[in-house]
Structures are given as structure tokens and as C-alpha cells.
Amino acid sequence: MDTGEKPVCRPDAATTINTLKVPVAIDPARKNLTMGGVYLLLVRIDKEQVIRPGSLGDVKISRGYYVYVGSGLNNLEARLARHKRKRKKLHWHIDYLTSIASTVSTFPIRTKNRLECELAEAVAMLSGKSVPGFGSSDCTCSSHLFFFAENPENDESFIDIVFEFRLKDSRTQLTPFQ
């Protein structure tokens, strides 16, 4: 019988909470999460230099900012940590640039999709100046390294690209039970 009285919340009242254990299928969720992805490296160079990244020959590096587009589809965190280290075996084109950089910033984009070339195309539209053949020996892109005289982090269009690509397949990342 309803008396019309409202329940009173008393902080000293004992409360019992019953816990129901519900089995959750984790494997489907894990299948959609990824430890890999694509990334942008923002590399600051303080003085003009010449580097020799493998078969590219001598490459003049101007003072300014470079954005490199890469991928680490298996272990993105390890790839980014390697790029930030000064001491490493010079293997990839970008290793030659990061070894002379004053700073290296990373912009990871988690995905299972191969978005590297599409991302490089978007960055190329902003930059207008690239280093031909740099970082693109395994694709048909003209380059994956782009020059900016000013810090692109201060350019709203650059930040928009980062957010656009981070959201590009967010539905896949956020719906683990398909």
C-alpha cells in the first residue's frame, strides 16, 4: 500500500548491494582493438644540414619543421618510442632526420586500416614542399616527409587533419561486439 511518503536518504543507514556476475565475451572486443596504427612525427630542425638517408643520396635539410607520415600496424608504441630515441641504428629514412632533430613530437592515430598514404596526401596539401622519395619507397607516393617553415601545431588545418584521421574509423574502434 502506497502511503505517499517519499523515501528518506540517511547516510548512516546500512545499504546492501547485491552483485550479479555476468560473463562477458572478451575475444570479440579484443579483435576490434588495435595496438597499431599510423602516425605523424613533428620534427624540429634548428640548423641547415645535409643527411644521406640510404639510397636517396645527399638530402639538404633546411631549418624549420618537418612532418613525417609513417605506420606501425603491429606495435605503434614501440615504433614511436624508437623514433624519439637519439641513439639507434640508422635503418629507415626517418632515422637520419630524427638523429639530428632538436625535438620530435608524435601524433599517433590508432587504426587497423592502412591510412598512411591517405594521411600523407592530406599533409602534402598543407605543406606544399616535400622531400622526394623520403619514406615512400614501399608505395607510390612521391614522399612521406613534408616541410613547414612555421610550426604546423599552430595551424588549425594541421590539427583538423589529426582529429579527422583519429575519428575516421572510430565506429570500428568503439563497437567491440559486432
Strand arrangement, sheet containing 64-72:
103-110, 37-45, 64-72, 145-148
**H runs (alpha helix) in the chain:** 26-32, 76-84, 93-98, 116-127, 156-167, 170-174
Burial (CB < 10 A; 0-12, 13-18, 19+), residue 110, is: middle
C-alpha cell, 7: 523515501
Which residue ranges make up each domain of the chain? Answer: 41-173
Q: Within 10 Å of residue 17's Cβ, how many Cβ atoms? A: 4
Please tell me the pTM assigned to this model: 0.77
Tens-level pLDDT at each residue, the chain (178 residues): 555 665 555 555 555 666 677 776 666 555 545 589 999 999 999 999 999 998 899 999 999 999 999 999 888 999 999 999 988 999 999 999 999 999 999 999 999 899 999 999 999 999 989 999 999 988 999 999 999 999 999 999 999 999 999 998 664 444 444 3
